[in-house]
Amino acid sequence: MLSLRNAYIGLMLIAGIALGLAVSMRPELGAGSIPPIMILLLVSLIIDVTIMAIAAKQGAMPLTTNSRVIGFFGAAALYLAITYIKTAV
């Protein structure tokens, strides 16, 4: 359980950094019809479904809601921090 939770949180933080760098290098990505935060939700769903399938095969416990919240809000905070720092400089 602990390793699946850590994998989810780590992958979400990487997604937040990647999205922040992508939007800061190409600002038109942030002005699209789908806000970048919603892209993080889609990434979270894909990672969560994958981890749920792995947990079902190995008999491990699935992710808890607390893990999902920590992963998503951590990724969103990194995304917002990176885009804010790039636009402020």
Identify whether the C-beta of residue 16 lies closer than 8 Å to the C-beta of residue 76.
Answer: yes
Reduced to 3 states, what is the DSSP secondary structure of residue 38? helix
Mean per-residue pLDDT, 29-43: 90
- Residue 58 pLDDT: 85
- Residue 44 pLDDT: 96
Identify whether the C-beta of residue 4 lies closer than 8 Å to the C-beta of residue 51.
Answer: yes
Q: Name the residue with tokens 């994998």.
A: 7
Identify whether the C-beta of residue 4 lies closer than 8 Å to the C-beta of residue 63.
Answer: yes
Mean per-residue pLDDT, 75-88: 92
